[in-house]
Amino acid sequence: MEWAALGLGRVRDCRPIATGVMNQSWRLTTDAGVFAVKRLRDRTPDEVRVVNELLPRLAGEGFPVPTPRGDPVRIGGDWYTATAWLDGVHPENATLREDLGDLVGRLHVALATLCPPAPRRLPDVPENPFKSIKKLAVYAGRPPADDFDRCAAEEIEWRREMLAELADQRPADAELAPCGWTHGDLQPFNLLVDADGRVSGILDWDRLGVRPYGLEVVRTATIMYGHALDRIAAFVAGYRAQVPIGDAELADAADRRWWTLLTETWQLERHYEHDDRSGDHLLARRGDYLRWWTAHRSEVTAALTAG
């Protein structure tokens, strides 16, 4: 790879970053320092420039975000973007301090100040269960060639049965509030923590956008803490100390996130239609969590509204 176009100095070392899900990234060491370089996959250079303008302002407010190093650059047929390297490790449940909810709340407050005005309400139309059943049927009945095929066959059969049984539990079309600017993908691979479990980096701002706050809260809490309902409750309590959001909105967001997991088919689409295996491991992981959530829906909702 010809990295000179990035203008980061003479390259001394270049290593692929193995963690992450879908983005291809590298740790680049040059005479000028250490940098994270990412190939743009589903965002345009103009969208990245908007993020690059925001990040220094967030850093000025005290948030641990990467410092952009120039605009996106085209190398060959792809676009690449670079930021200064942030030290830390991706967190596990046990290594993450209890103040993440407070941090996410303060982040939402800061984004509301630094970004353009956002609509107070946004429409949400959950997937039709029978449409999802038809989508799943497209991938059913394939001769199993590997572990992914076997996992997919089991997952497809279970979800089709659940969707038929639980079709009447589809959340209603609605205008959701409160809404505002959000990170969009707060999960372990997009966070770094130091040795004390304190967040030292909030990475990958590709999905910056306006969303219902409740959906980001529920998604983040369940991804970060899984079955640990006490930690989910602590996360929400920390968040609500910064952003007022009611029990009804959080309970509704929980139903919508659960329904999204039940109806999503993107891992199958990527694998079978685009020969993209970057999300393969999430099919089984999210399937296992979905089964547990389906069996414990009332307890999860209670945790999300306890704070």
Q: What is the pLDDT of residues 170-192, one digit of tens each?
A: 999 999 999 999 999 999 999 99
Mean pLDDT over residues 44-62, rounded?
A: 96
pLDDT number for residue 278:
86
Q: Give a yes or no: residue 144 inside a domain.
A: no
Containing structural domain, residue 122: 93-126+151-304
b/e sequence 56-85, b meaning 16+ C-beta within 10 Å: eebeeeebbbbebbeebbebeeebbbbbeb
Verify that 64 and 158 share a domain, yes or no.
Answer: no
> Given a cut of 80, is residue 307 above it in pLDDT?
no
Range with the poorest average pLDDT among 37-46, 101-110, 251-260: 37-46
Q: CA dist 127 to 77, 163, 229, 259, 265, Å?
A: 35, 11, 27, 8, 11
What is the rounded CA–CA span in Å between residue 300 and residue 226? 10
Q: What is the CATH number of the domain that holds 50?
A: 3.30.200.20
Is 33 contained in some domain?
A: yes
Residue 21 pLDDT: 60
Average pLDDT, integer, range 77-104: 89
> Do 75 and 157 sit in the same domain of this protein?
no
One domain, residues 76 and 99: no
Question: Average of pLDDT values for 259-284?
Answer: 94
Q: Are residues 194 and 58 in the same domain?
A: no
pLDDT the model gives residue 297 = 98
Residues 52 and 28 in one domain: yes
| Model confidence band, residue 97 (pLDDT cutoffs 50, 70, 90) | confident
Residues 63 and 192 in one domain: no
**% of residues, the chain, pLDDT over 70:** 97
**Whether pLDDT at 94 is above 80:** no
Q: Is the pLDDT of residue 216 over 90?
A: yes
Domain count, the chain: 2
Peptide bond into 178 cis (omega under 30): yes
Look up the CATH number of the domain holding residue 193. 3.90.1200
Global pTM reads: 0.94
Q: Give the confidence band of 204 by pLDDT, cuts at 50, 70, 90.
A: very high
Query: Looking at the structure, do residues 167 and 50 belong to the same domain, yes or no?
Result: no
